[in-house]
Amino acid sequence: KKKLKISGRELVSVPAQVFSLDQLQVLEMSPERESCLRYRMELLPREISHLRNLTCLYVDSNNLKKIPAEIGTLSQLERLTLSSNSLSSLPPEMGALQRLHSLHLANNSLTELPAPLCQLRSLTFLDVSDNKIGTIPSSIRQLEKLETLLLNFNSLESLPEDVGLLRNLRTLWLGNNHLRSLPASFGELVNLDWGYNYCSCNFGGNPLESPPPEVCSRGPEEIRAYFLSFHR
């Protein structure tokens, strides 16, 4: 088998036989689209390391409190979904997942952007919305391939200047944080898909003062002009 979906009304653990399927590429253990099911896994087994050929691992909407260090051995992993769990941290070994391009971490209990994430150079999609994240480290600049960054519904009070180095960003959600200002470098995000697709970037629910919301709604070029006007 190359793909396996495990389902159960009250799933709390993974059958041991799963970890002998060393050719498995896609493993789904999520009730995400099946409301009648309630999964209650609190721990991803360490034996996950036996599945060296996994490219996709779906474990949304469980009750995971911890991700084992062995996750870092899944060198082929390209997509990992961990949304709607009870995670407050991630193991540093996740930084070894250098093929990972899509990571879903929405609706957990993260209070900071875990340092290992900034080592994932192939990441193009990162969703950390609906957590309790208060700061974004300057090391985020290492995610040079990032195209989508979802940070809405967190506790952000500021963004680092280095966010302007994410030149490939096309979608950035910042709504419902505590942002009073944006860094001057924000105007360098010229690839944000503004135009008719305003949902590609939003600031709603923030007490923005600089630049004012009416400037933000016009796009990065206006934001850049706003900050340049203070240096003339």
pLDDT < 50 positions in the chain: 196
Q: Which residue has the tokens 């302007």?
A: 164
Which string of DSSP letters, residue by residue, matches 172-194? EE--SS--SB--GGGGG-TTS--
SS3 200: helix
Q: What is the pLDDT of residue 11?
A: 80
Exposure string over 136-156, b if 16+ CB within 10 A, otherwise e: beeebbbbeebbbbbbbbbeb
Q: What is the pLDDT of residue 200?
A: 59
CA distance 115 to 38: 31
Secondary structure letter of residue 153 according to DSSP: S
Q: What is the pLDDT of residue 141?
A: 94
Q: Which residue has the tokens 């084992």?
A: 68
Q: What is the pLDDT of residue 37?
A: 62
Do the beta carbons of residue 72 and residue 93 sit within 8 Å?
yes
* Domains of the chain, each with CATH number or no CATH: 3-230 (3.80.10.10)
Q: What is the pLDDT of residue 35?
A: 60
Q: What is the pLDDT of residue 203?
A: 81
SS3 139: helix
CA 12 to chain centre: 25
Secondary structure letter of residue 173 according to DSSP: E
Regarding pTM above 0.85, the answer is: yes
Q: What is the pLDDT of residue 229?
A: 83
Token couple for 178:
């505590």
- Closest C-alpha among 103, 107, 57 to residue 84: 107
CA distance 78 to 125: 11
Phi-psi region of 107 (alpha: psi -120 to 50; beta: other; left: phi over 0): left
Do the beta carbons of residue 49 and residue 19 sit within 8 Å?
no
With residue 80 as reference, give the H or E element that holds it. strand 79-81
